Structure 1
Amino acid sequence: MSKPKVLQIGALSERFNRELAECYEVTALWQRVDPLAFLQEQGTAFELLVSSARFGCSAEQLACLPNLRAICSFGVGYDPYPLELLRDRGIVISTTPDVLNDCVADLAMGLIIDTARQLAAADRFVRAGGWPAATFPLTRKVSGKKLGIVGLGRIGQAIARRAEGFAMPVRYHKRCQDLSSPYGFEADLLALARWADFLVLACPGGAATHHLIDADVLAALGPQGILVNISRGSVVDQPALVTALLNGHLGGAGLDVFEGEPTVPAELFALPNVVLLPHVGSGTHETRLRMEELVLANLQAFIDKGELLTPL
């Protein structure tokens, strides 16, 4: 019995690539000399596609896949997919929600603490031999400070629950108020930024949130405020953020995502009040394994029943 054909846009872990190849007839698109030319010639052969929030599937690629029925994506981000085109063509897409909530929320709290207490900077201070000659500067307390969250989905709620352990008052901003939430709703993003000591971004990427955090929001957060971004780099106007940090108009930033990553603005490298991470929110052995398992489970569920387990 022949294996189902699967098109894989980009490489994931060696473990995932191996398990996928064991169960399906996989075409690794990234290994083709001219991926687009290959799709133009043989794209009609594929009904199933595996990708990720990093690689997505472009409208140009999608046009070469007239028989595509389902996309199983690794991660919770869906901004690199042309969702309107998928809806128009009746192509369903799954992501990997919930299984990464804890690790991303843990990282958000870590960035809050690290940026306020400057743990990474203090580590560099000790390693550079600075301690015998000087006292490390005082930093800022975390417990009891006001936390604003932009986006109160699964990850945002997990961050809010962790903040309760630090006795932090929590308010949130999103398009619609969540009447079941115990946290304060703020319809005005600028008002939330003015109120907050820490502003954490936990909203989706895409056109609706592109540069949502602009110079005005950063000014409202102010020279004592700290921005933490574990969502998407596109949510922040990155040049405005760099300017605000260099000019002292923003107190600090903890960043796991960037526009145009893996490129990071070099101006941020020397700032002790900025923590820079290489998009590792879900980057633990346990969580990545569960994400891979969910991609495979979605794929098999669609083959067996024509339905996805975690459709977008």
Structure 2
Amino acid sequence: MTKTVLVLVESVNEYLPILEDSGFRLILAPTPAMRAEAVATRGGEIDAVLTRGPLGLTAEEIGALPGVGIICVIGAGYEQVDLLAAEARGITVTNGAGVNAPSVADHAMALLLALVRDIPQADASVRRGEWRKVTRPSFANKRIGILGLGSVGMAIARRASGFDMQVNYHSRSPRQDVDFHYCATPLALATESDFLIVATPGGGATRHLIDKAAIDALGPQGFVVNIARASVIDTEAMIDALQHGRLAGAALDVFDDEPQVPDALKSLNNVVLTPHVAGLSPEASRDTVQMVANNLLAFYAGKPVLTPVHS
């Protein structure tokens, strides 16, 4: 019997035929209105849900989908999926951990380069007919701190090593398979870094790991890049530091209330902003949807899923 997947994501339409070719029927609901209508009127048809971290799936929605046995999350983050409600129903949850790591790491380095070397402002000055020359820091022998040394963090570390940077990191525990320098706390990491890249999942456990103290430790010559989740950084403290010269610059691909971006950030010239696109590339999108298909096929064949998520 064909299984029906409710698709809440909006960014991988080109690759959804991978799921159809694997034998699944799709209900597309990429807007809040379509989502609410699908859950309310077609809830009994739905066997699986495809979502992403910020879109999530609420306990109320899970309760309205009596046939759902599996929730597949695109990307590594799953912060808005109610894992407790899923667990109470015996629903399997999977994510796409590691699949888009190369794309995210590329974007993180692109943001860091653009920020530190002041590329957006230089570009704008040339377009205005100016010939503005500003001396900016180089990368060799700088200390880069990576918060979260999972698949994305490791991919960033490898790229940073190619720029002759010293790699420091903090994660829940030291990794035994790397030679990078481990810092015991996020504050220690910030203290020992010139550039800080946030690459850890969102959620309550990582909320405001980069707080005012860490931002101040990074200091007026320090730069921060966030390609993970906005909640990991205290946004208000970061904006205040950027406004008052206590932080040299920030490059952000994620925001607290997407797609809303604080006007204060948009008004600053020491900030680079992108619309949560770090994980988007043709390769990453294709591989992410293929991972979803593989997890669904394994689940319905009674086999272990490839990337399970536990509460």
TM-score, with length taken from structure 2: 0.91
Root-mean-square deviation (CA), in Å? 2.1
Q: What SS does structure 1 have at the residue aligned with 2:154? A: helix
Q: What SS does structure 2 have at the residue aligned with 1:78? A: coil
Q: Which residue of 2 aligns with 1:185?
A: 182
1:280 aligns with one of 277, 280, 299 = 277
Q: Which residue of 2 aligns with 1:65?
A: 65
Distance (whole Å) between structure 1 residues aligned to residue 25 and residue 107 of structure 2: 36
Inter-CA distance 149–286: structure 2 relative to 1 (3 Å threshold): same
1:1-312 alignment to 2 at 5 Å? 2-21=1-20, 23-30=23-30, 35-36=35-36, 39-40=39-40, 42-131=42-131, 135-312=132-309
Q: What SS does structure 2 have at the residue aligned with 1:39? A: helix
Cα offset, 1:121, TM superposition: 1.2
Cα offset, 1:34, TM superposition: 7.1
Distance (whole Å) between structure 2 residues aligned to residue 254 and residue 38 of structure 1: 37
Cα offset, 1:112, TM superposition: 1.6
The one-letter code sitting in structure 2 at the alignment partner of 1:111 is: L
Query: Which one is further off, 46-55 or 154-163?
Result: 46-55
TM-score, with length taken from structure 1: 0.91
Q: What SS does structure 2 have at the residue aligned with 1:305? A: coil
Ranges in structure 1 where 5+ consecutive residues have no aligned partner: none
Cα offset, 1:37, TM superposition: 6.4
Inter-CA distance 161–33: structure 2 relative to 1 (3 Å threshold): closer
Cα offset, 1:206, TM superposition: 0.5
Distance (whole Å) between structure 2 residues aligned to residue 180 and residue 17 of structure 1: 36
Inter-CA distance 58–136: structure 2 relative to 1 (3 Å threshold): same
Number of aligned residue pairs: 308
Q: What SS does structure 2 have at the residue aligned with 1:180? A: coil
Query: Which one is further off, 162-171 or 261-270?
Result: 261-270
Identity across matched positions, percent = 38
Distance (whole Å) between structure 2 residues aligned to residue 137 and residue 310 of structure 1: 47
Inter-CA distance 119–203: structure 2 relative to 1 (3 Å threshold): same
Distance (whole Å) between structure 2 residues aligned to residue 114 and residue 99 of structure 1: 25
Distance (whole Å) between structure 2 residues aligned to residue 56 and residue 209 of structure 1: 17
Residue-by-residue CA offset, 1:121-145 (whole Å, 9 max, x unaligned)? 11111111111xxx32211111210
